[in-house]
């Protein structure tokens, strides 16, 4: 294992991500309940306008997801997921200057969206579904491996760790080894501690505090905490009042070396990242 970043440039399809900087990834949900009015075409237009607004305010990546990971969410068939995600990937690729990340665990969605212009595979299940390792390898795209125990439906049933950061690191090391065996080189891997996935508030806080330990793998870190319940629980805030807590965590994550921040509130988070860069580039 090396602790030296082998390259500061990560090819993502037809674009390159400069890993010397902290990037903001805007979240774009294309599950039907996120745009309840109108038909297929108005939903597509609404999603495209949302993506456009996030790019205009400084997102360098857009994470497109068609399957809800909320506990209790209904399972989506691969075809249904593809029908949600493919049109928006195609449109963003055609119309916007941004790296498209596809939030999927589904092999067919990985293969088809890569063909349509996706630049990154973001799989909360770390390529554990049948065929996912081979599908991701075939795309040649980078992959974000995220820590989660169990499945979204049961992951919050009494999660337990001796040392959460150590165990997250061990999980990610195992998944990285599986990737290498399947033909996904380590240079194409992004790592994610998986905040809120099979973790209590204390687990999330401890993992956040010690996330620098994951730099030992020499791979860029992605952090997703935007509006999550760890903010709600720490501050006693409902989901609509978690912005300031989230921005504090964005600043801390950036300070701790996270390279991609997955967020809902792009404009606000871009200001945080730019302000930090301004100070860091001073004499």
Positions touching ligand 8Y4 (CB under 6 A) are 65, 69, 103, 122, 124, 144, 146, 192, 194-195, 222, 224, 227-228, 239, 262
Nearer to ligand 8Y4 among residue 91 and residue 228 (C-beta): 228
Q: Which residue is nearest to ligand 8Y4 (CB)?
A: 224
Is 70 labeled as catalytic in the residue annotation?
A: no
Catalytic residue among 228, 237, 242, 259: 228
Count CA within 13 A, CB hemisphere, residue 133. Answer: 13
274 is catalytic: no
Report, in Å, the least distance between residue 282 CB and ligand 8Y4: 31
CB 229 within 8 A of CB 238: no
Asked whether 121 and 105 are in contact (CB, 8 A), the reply is no
DSSP secondary structure string, 216-257?
GG-S-BEE--TT-HHHHHHHT--GGG-HHHHHHHHHHHHHTT
Burial label, 9 (beta-carbon count in 10 A; 0-12, 13-18, 19+): exposed
- Please say which residue, 43 or 101, places its beta carbon nearer to ligand 8Y4: 101
Of 86 and 144, CB closest to ligand 8Y4 = 144
Minimum CB distance to ligand 8Y4 smaller for 91 or for 125: 125
Q: Which two tokens stand for residue 199?
A: 């973790």
The distance of closest approach from Cβ of residue 69 to ligand 8Y4 in the complex, given in angstroms and rounded to an integer, is 5
DSSP 103: E
Check if the beta carbon of residue 135 is closer than 8 Å to that of residue 110: yes
**Cα–Cα distance, 132 to 73 (Å, whole number):** 21
Minimum distance of ligand 8Y4 from residue 227's CB (angstroms): 4
Residues in CB range of 61: below 8 A, 6 or more apart: 17, 23, 24, 25, 26, 98, 99, 100, 101, 119, 120, 260
Nearer to ligand 8Y4, 135 or 225 (CB): 225
User: In the complex, what is the shortest distance from the CB of residue 73 to ligand 8Y4, in angstroms, rounded to a whole number?
Assistant: 10
Nearer to ligand 8Y4, 5 or 69 (CB): 69
Q: Distance between CA atoms of 103 and 139, rounded to whole angstroms? A: 15
Q: How far is the CB of 147 from ligand 8Y4 (least distance, A)?
A: 9
Buried b or exposed e, range 25-34, using 16+ CB within 10 angstroms: bbbbbbbeee
Residue 279, burial from CB neighbour count under 10 angstroms (0-12, 13-18, 19+): exposed
Report the relative pairing of strands 23-29 and 61-65 from DSSP bridges: parallel
Positions marked active-site: 228, 262
């Amino acid at each position: 294992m090396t602790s030296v970043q082998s390259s500061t440039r990560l090819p993502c399809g037809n674009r390159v991500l400069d890993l010397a900087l902290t990037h903001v990834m805007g979240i774009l949900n294309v599950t039907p309940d996120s745009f309840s009015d109108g038909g297929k075409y108005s939903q597509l237009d609404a999603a495209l306008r949302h993506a456009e607004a996030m790019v205009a305010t400084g997102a360098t990546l857009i994470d497109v997801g068609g399957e809800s990971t909320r506990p209790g969410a209904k399972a989506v068939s691969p075809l249904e997921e593809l029908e949600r995600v493919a049109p928006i990937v195609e449109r963003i690729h055609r119309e916007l200057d941004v790296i498209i990340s596809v939030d999927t665990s589904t092999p067919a969605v990985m293969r088809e969206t890569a063909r349509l212009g996706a630049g990154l595979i973001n799989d909360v299940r770390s390529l554990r579904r049948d065929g996912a390792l081979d599908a991701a390898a075939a795309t040649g795209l980078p992959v974000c491996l995220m820590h989660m125990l169990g499945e979204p439906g049961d992951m919050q049933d009494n999660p337990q760790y001796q040392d959460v950061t150590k165990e997250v690191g061990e999980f990610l090391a195992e998944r990285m080894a599986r990737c290498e065996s399947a033909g996904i080189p380590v240079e194409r891997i992004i790592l994610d501690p998986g905040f809120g996935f099979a973790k209590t508030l204390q687990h999330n806080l401890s993992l956040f505090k010690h996330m620098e330990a994951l730099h030992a793998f020499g791979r860029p870190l992605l952090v997703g905490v935007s509006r999550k319940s760890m903010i709600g629980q720490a501050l006693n805030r409902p989901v609509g009042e978690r912005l300031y807590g989230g921005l504090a965590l964005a600043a801390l994550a950036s300070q701790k070396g996270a390279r991609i921040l997955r967020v809902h509130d792009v404009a606000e988070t871009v200001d945080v990242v730019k302000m930090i860069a301004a100070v860091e580039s001073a004499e």
